[in-house]
Amino acid sequence: MTETDPGIEAWKEHTSAFDRVRSVAEAVSQPRSASSIADEALVAENTARSHLERLVEMNVLLKTDREGTALYTPDPLYVRVQTLRDLLDEYDHDGLIGLKEDLQARIRTWQGEYDVSSPEALRERAAEAEQVEQTSEIRTTASDWELTRYRLTIVEDAIENYATYSRDSRAMA
């Protein structure tokens, strides 16, 4: 995709530089430099750096230093709270319980299918697999399992604290 693509032009026209930087920075899975984020957000590096520093101050991003280069990554606490808020906006208490059941069922399926009790044990299986496709499938399942397990902890937090966290319950008070 080039900068003259209609989608990029529309993104630049309808989204502020700050929002583009935030969007890119919140989506990274590995720490990235201001330069890298600037390129993807279609802003000057100084602009990106300024916005990234603001996002660090807002506790949206973490900043680390590697060999003199500042690197930015999403703050895991911020991500968790945002995920919690999204769940509470999408589900009522019963819906959260149903989601918990679905996540637990998915984990039980993997436990039965692979005869292991954790994604870590499943990763050990990947090392023993003889076919590249099998190794890839097992690693993908282990990653999905880890994500599901993490999401389950957030769903359980939402259920346990529903009365405190829910916008509906606060509005009724």
Q: How far is CA 146 from the centre of its chain?
A: 12
Its pTM stands at 0.77
Q: How much is the pLDDT for 170?
A: 47
Q: How much is the pLDDT for 13?
A: 87
- Which is more confident, 168 or 36? 36
- Which is more confident, 119 or 3? 119
Average pLDDT over residues 134-157: 95
Reply yes or no on whether the pLDDT at 3 is more than 80.
no
Q: How much is the pLDDT for 171?
A: 42
Structure tokens at 7: 């989608």
Average pLDDT over residues 132-142: 92
Reply yes or no on whether the pLDDT at 18 is more than 90.
yes
Q: What mean pLDDT is reported for the chain?
A: 92
Average pLDDT over residues 93-100: 97
